[in-house]
Every structure is written in structure tokens, then in C-alpha cells.
Chains A and B, each alone.
Chain A
Amino acid sequence: MAVPKICGIETEFGIAHTGTEDANPIAASSLLINSYLSEVERTGEGGPAAGVTWDFEDEMPGNDIRGIAPLGSLAPEIETHLVNAVLTNGARYYVDHAHPELSTPECSNALDVTRYDKAAELILRRSMEAAAQMLPPGQELVVYKNNSDGKGNSYGCHENYLMARATPFSQIVVHATAHLVTRQIFTGSGKVGSEAHGLTTEDVPFQITQRADFFEEEVGLETTLKRPIINTRDEPHADARHYRRLHVITGDANMSEVATFLKVGTTAIVLAMVEDNVLPREFRFRMPVQAMRQVSYDLSLAKPLELADGTSATALEIQWDLLDQARKYADSHGLDTVGGPVGEMVIDRWEQVLTGLEADPMTLARQLDWVAKHRLIQGLAQRHDLRRDDARLAALDLQYHDLRPERSVAARAGLESLISTDGARAAITEPPLDTRAYFRGQCLKRWASSIVAANWDSIVFDVGDEPLRRVPMMEPSRGTADHVGQLLADCDTAAELLNRLKDSGAR
């Protein structure tokens, strides 16, 4: 049976330190985040919990869903010495692989993820402004929400979805691969040229996604080398007897809220359908890695993908099939596990977007990043009669993702918004109400001085007279406002909270 698709996004941002000769990306990322933390502490606006660090106790990114990691697999390293903050909205803000990274809090639906992703952009923007105050005149930190530098270096925008441990992993691999390869037609952020070996801007002037060039394996543990379409990192951050957490690494970082919403929303529904075993047809690609690129390079959306059974199907056809199944699934099983009405909204949007892509992708220039960007690239090239490899086109591509309002091209592209400005602002400091992120965020907001460390599945308290106390939160759908709102309201101090929790047994 499908479990609630509690989900989130982890974005690694690009960072540039301008106005200096000796820029160092780790130092720049640290300065960016520390500037934000000091600024929020100074203004008392809430946001980060001062002095609370990330707790690495349960971090095991080397665990492989398949049980054993094959020879040659590289487990990711954990960088415990760099800035690593927990925010009162339940998010984690830290330096990872020489990039600033922000992980949204756990959300119960795609609309909330979109809201926290928007809040993340605002946090990064404030961070740039705060850093500007710390730097000498003429220097600046600039943050880009993209996934590649155009020179073969990529950094990720990962998604994660709570799944039932009981679901056979082989079933997840088949159906998730079919979806991840074909959803690119609406999740792509667009890119000028190709960074795949041996291809030039002549071969691929423009492609649908930022990331497709960087996938080399079908299934695997790596995230930084030989990236696989299906990542097997097995870190449920929850009770491992009941749950796994699918770590999706293929996606692009989106500027468009509609693209983020659909990326997460459609994937959550497909995964719920896998858990409930309702997908009648398996789309197995003959060559999945090549299929990733083929979809990304085919702006006509017309080239069929070869399937292992000798037949073929286009990405659009596979997406139509998944959508049809999703409608049937909504009737037979309901959409409670993917946010109820938000699930309905996903299905309606999904249909609108596939209809638009089929008629003329250009109709979606306000909804999809790759279409919006392609339109501007073509327009600029025509206006100035530019060659395909003109630096101005690559510059426009990069600047589409610039998070500074005065420079951002995406902010000028007329993209449709799903999240109100007030909603996004509130999400900078307020946690979601309906996951355990609520408990984490509220505790940090009220008792930060009594908290030593926190992570996804626990909080460590220090209330002075006792040894440190770890409060486990192994169930992601508990610790909600409904569940602990009254309890938190009844407690004036962290010590009181711990006593109440002790009296009531486990949470």
C-alpha cells in the first residue's frame, strides 16, 4: 500500500565571487551562509536557530538500497567541519561540495515543496545581500539556481520521496526510470549546447535539460561521478523497517514554479502507483542512458525511444500513458497520499502541459523553463544575427538562473506563479504544519538555546541539569501541528517539554 509521499528538494546552487582574483568556492559558500545567519540573528527575524548545528549521528549516505555496494562504488563523503545550519522553517542550509545547498523541510505535497523552494530562493537572495555588507567594496557573491557551468561541471537539484520498504526495488527501477527519462519534456530548464563528450554546439545548439549530459549509469550509488538514473542511496531518515526514501538525482533546478510543482507532483503520483502496483505496462528502454539524452536533445518531441521489447514510444506517449493511469488511480485509490486536492491539481496541470507540448511547446513559454529560455535565446540570436556559439547566448543561458532580482532573466520572462509572495515569505521562517518538520521548526523557534543539534529524525536537547537528551522523530508524518501543537503550546520551557514527553512515553 502506498505510504504518504512526504517529499522535499535539495538544491546545490552555483556561486561566483566577483571582483577578486583569488576566489575560493568553499570560502565563498561559507561566507554566504554565515552572513545570512548573522544577519537574521542580528535582526531577530527568526530563520536560523543560532548556535544549533546539524547532527550527523544518523548520516549514512554510503548505504545502498540493494544491500551491498558493488565494487568500485564511491560512497559520498560527509563534510562535518563546514557551516551547517538548521532553520526554523525546518530546512537545512549548508556548504556541500563547494556549493551552498538548501534542503527544504519535509512536505506532504508538491505545492508545499514549491512554496519552500520559492522561500529557498528568497533565503539565498537575502544571503547575497548580507554577504555584500561583509565584503570589500567592488566584491560580490552571486548565486545561480542552475545545474552546470557549461564546461562539464554539474551540481544537483535532488528530490526525495518517502516510500514503503515493502515495495520491490526492481519495480521502482522500471517505472521510475520510465518517468524520470520522459518527464524531462516538462522538467527541463534548458541549456545552450552540450557538455557530453564529443558533442559541440553545432551538434546540439539547445537542449531541454541541464542535467541529461551527466548521466552514465542506469542504477548506482554515486552522485558526483558516473551518475545513475536511479540512485540507490538508502538513507530513509525514518524507521527503516517500514520506509525507504527514494533519492532522485536526475532533475534540473527550476526557476518556473509550475515546473517544480509538476516535477515533484507527477513523480509522487507515479511512485504511489508503483507502491499500489497499478501500472499495467512496463516501459523498459533498450538503452536508458541514451534515452535520457535523446529526450533532452529532441526539441521536436517526436523521435520514438526504442523499448526493450522491440517496440518504441515517444516521451509524450509514455507521459500520456502515465497520466491516464494516474486518472484511473485517482478514481480507484484516491489521492490522499499525495496531498488530496493538490494531487488533483497536479493531474489537471499535467494534462494541460502535455496538451500544450503536443500542440506547440511555445504555448508553454510562461509555464516551462526550457520553453521560456529557448524563446529568448532564439529571439536574441535573430535580433543580433548571432552564431550558435556566440558568448551572448551562453551568457543569457547563465543569467536566466541569476537570483539577483536586478539581473535575473527568469524574473523578466513572465513566468506564471503558483505561490503568493506572502506565502513564500512566511515559508522562510514557518515550518509546514503537516509533517515532523513542524515539531523541529517550532522547537528551534522557541527553545534554540536549549538545543545542541538537530537533524531530519531527531533533536538533541541540553536543559542544563541532565545529560543531553535526544528526542527521536522516526515517523515523518508525526510531529504535525495536529499531533503536537497543543503539547508545544502547553510547555513554557524545553525542560517541561522533555518531562511531558518522558511521561507520555515515545512520541
Chain B
Amino acid sequence: MAEREQIKKPAPQREQAEVEDAPAASEQVEELKAELDDLLDEIDEVLETNAEDFVKSYIQKGGQ
């Protein structure tokens, strides 16, 4: 199955991973920050208009 095929390569040792990942991590975070504004625009559109009523009326019976 395709989903299972990409997993064969041995994982890097932990120490190596940390060194290599460090610059990639900050890039990733910058990229995520850059797209956050668009995402928030979209969320402002779909968010329930009366947040107060919406939150207040969401009452569930306790379950397991």
C-alpha cells in the first residue's frame, strides 16, 4: 500500500536530527506565521456570529 511504502528508510540518530532540524524549524515557523493572516481571515468568516450565545448553548450530558 502506498501509504506504507515511504517508511523503510532508517531514521536518523537523535543527535543528528537535532542539528539538522534547527534551521529548518525556524524556517517552518516563519512560513506558518506568514500564512496565519489568511487563515484568520477565513476563520473570521466561518466563526459563529454570536459567539456568546453559541458557547452558552453548547451543553452536553456527561458521558464516559
Contact = CB atoms under 8 A, between A and B. Distances in A.
Nearest to A413: B39
Contacts of A149: 58-60
A153 B61 contact: yes
B55 A365 contact: no
Nearest to B62: A153
A358 B39 CA distance: 26
B46 interface: yes
A348 B10 CA distance: 8
Contact of B64 (A15, A158, A379): A158
Given A380-B43, A399-B48, A414-B35, A96 B63 contact: yes
A409 B51 CA distance: 14
Contacts of A394: 51, 55
A392 B51 contact: yes
Nearest to B61: A98
A355 B64 contact: no
A398 B26 CA distance: 30
Contact of A355 (B3, B18, B56, B57): B18
Question: Per DSSP, are chain B's interface residues mostly helix, strand or loop, or mixed?
Answer: helix
B22 interface: yes
A224 B61 CA distance: 11
A260 B59 CA distance: 26
Contact of B4 (A76, A345, A413): A345
B34 interface: no
A409 B64 contact: no
Contact of A418 (B3, B43, B51): B3
Nearest to B52: A391
A358 B18 contact: yes
A148 B42 CA distance: 25
Nearest to A99: B63
Interface string A197-221: 0000000000000000000000000
A284 to B, nearest CB: 25
Contact of A154 (B40, B43, B54, B63): B63
Contacts of B2: 420
A242 to B, nearest CB: 27
B4 A111 contact: yes
B11 to A, nearest CB: 5
Most buried by A among B35, B36, B60: B60
Interface string B24-53: 011011001001100110111011100110
Contacts of B17: 351-352, 355
A356 interface: yes
B62 A355 contact: no
A156 B39 contact: no
B46 A395 contact: no
B55 A344 contact: no
A376 B25 contact: no
Interface of B: 2-4, 6-8, 11, 14, 17-18, 21-22, 25-26, 28-29, 32, 35-36, 39-40, 42-44, 46-48, 51-52, 54-64
22 contacts: A25-B61, A97-B61, A98-B60, A144-B58, A153-B61, A155-B60, A224-B64, A341-B8, A342-B7, A355-B14, A355-B17, A355-B21, A356-B25, A363-B25, A375-B32, A390-B51, A391-B51, A392-B51, A395-B51, A395-B54, A396-B43, A396-B47
